[in-house]
Amino acid sequence: MQRSESFTKTFIQDTYIERFPQHALATNNLMYGVHMYKAEIALRMAIVQHNYKHSLCWLVYDVDRECAAIDWDDCRTPPPNIIAINRGNGHAHFFYGLKQPVHNYAGASQKALRYLGSIDIALTEKLNADPGYTKLLSKNPINTRWETIYLKTSLYDLDELADWLDLNKYCDKRKRLPDVGYGRNCTLFERLRVWAYRERRQPYLSAEFYHAAVLNHGLVLNQEFNPPLPHSEVRATAKSVARWTWNRMSKEGFIVYQREMGKRSGIKRKQKSLELRERIIETKQQCPTLVRGEIAALVGVTRRTVRKHLNSLR
């Protein structure tokens, strides 16, 4: 048993160090602020930045309860890979390692980012973790200030975490995710991205002016969150969106894009019309005695649409 625990500790510690940002924010005391350090220096400090700026390898949760180390089992949640515990009050940070990092820069998969956001919100609720935790800094599990428990050797994929959770209320992509955890990041990124696409068509004098406008709008959007995201995260998101949009989109490019989307839309409408026509004709052939109004009710269209498609056969 001790051999197994030792292997888990060694493997997860090595994984944590391998994934640690090359330059990370870190401190030994939050009262004195945080500063950027090289990895070898930051890893010796008690509180550190655990993820790269645009690459999410760890899902971390702040559980402020005296029995946090054992609460995950009572909550029927997946076992964390790491639990870093405050020896003074029992409060802890739970770490769930992802097999494949999820990226949150412009051009990255929005489907994966929203999926991650949904899982993060649901897991925050199930653990009864602090919903206002910004997820930028965490207890450094390899620092001796904290008591660290290593529970699970294998890392998680998103589907494995989702199997423990109820994500049904987050499936409607038309609705914004709650402003909790990475739900805020998803919302900020999506709203800022859409705004930046439209704004790119304006005649900005330079990329610098455009970048400043995107950042300013991002800061405005961030004020709607309670609590808001750290300024550094908003700045990083705005920089990514502005750089990607400025380099890949322009007024001329937007015209080409609209033309292409119009073609795709026309193809989809034509395909939909053909499928509807086949349904109407098939219904009429199977039940020749049905009148147009009855066919319209069965198919879910108007009598005029039924008449148009039936007349096309003559």
Tally Cβ neighbours within 10 Å of residue 120: 28
Q: d(Cα 279, Cα 298) in Å, to the nearest integer?
A: 10
- 22 and 154 inside one domain: yes
Say yes or no: 165 and 20 in one domain.
yes
On whether residue 263 sits in a domain, the answer given is: no
Q: Which residue range forms the structural domain that includes residue 94?
A: 2-170
Q: Which of 49-58, 90-99, 232-241, 279-288 shows the lowest mean pLDDT across its residues?
A: 279-288
CA dist 20 → 41, 83, 101, 129, 252 (Å): 12, 17, 12, 24, 41
Share of the chain above pLDDT 70, in %: 93
Q: Do 26 and 163 fall into the same domain?
A: yes
33 shares a domain with 103: yes
Q: What is the pLDDT of residue 240?
A: 87
Residues 158-174 have pLDDT tens digits of 999 999 998 888 777 76
Same domain membership, residue 304 and residue 188: no
Quickly state the pLDDT bin for 20 (edges 50, 70, 90).
Answer: very high
- In the listed set 144, 170, 196, which residue is the last one of a domain according to the structure? 170
With respect to residue 262, please indicate whether it lies within any of the assigned structural domains.
no
Tens-place pLDDT, residues 171-202: 777 677 777 777 787 888 888 988 998 888 88
Closest CA to 191 of 255, 154, 238, 125: 238
Beta bridge partners of 94: 61, 83
Q: Is the pTM of this model over 0.75?
A: no
Instruction: Provide the domain count of the chain.
Output: 3
Is there a single domain that holds both residue 225 and residue 196?
A: yes
Angle at 259 between CA 253 and CA 264, to 5 degrees: 125
Distances (CA, A) of 126 to 77, 131, 151: 7, 11, 19
122 and 53 share one domain: yes
* Shared-domain flag, residues 187 and 297: no
Give the span between the Cα atoms of 275 and 286, in whole angstroms: 17
Helix, strand and coil percent figures for the chain, each rounded to 5? 50, 15, 35
Same domain? For 189 and 297 the reply is no
Confirm whether 259 is domain-assigned: no
| Of 90, 10, 17, 110, residue with least CA distance to 58 | 17
pLDDT of residue 1: 44
Average pLDDT, the chain: 85
Q: What is the pLDDT of residues 35-81, one digit of tens each?
A: 999 999 999 999 999 999 888 999 999 999 888 888 888 888 999 99
191-244 pLDDT, tens digit each: 898 899 888 888 887 889 999 999 999 999 998 887 788 888 888 889 988 988
User: Do residues 145 and 47 lie in contact, with contact meaning Cβ atoms separated by under 8 Å?
Assistant: no
Provide the pLDDT for residue 84: 96
Look at residue 2 in the predicted model and tell me its pLDDT: 47
Give the domain-ending residue among 170, 204, 233.
170
Q: Is the pLDDT of residue 3 over 60?
A: no
Q: Which of 242, 57, 313 shows the shortest CA–CA distance to 49?
A: 57
Residues 236, 93 share a domain:
no
User: Is 124 inside a domain boundary?
Assistant: yes
Model pLDDT, residue 139: 96
Complete edge-to-edge strand list for the sheet that includes strand 35-38: 35-38, 23-27, 47-49, 137-139
Confidence bin at 252 (pLDDT 50/70/90)? low
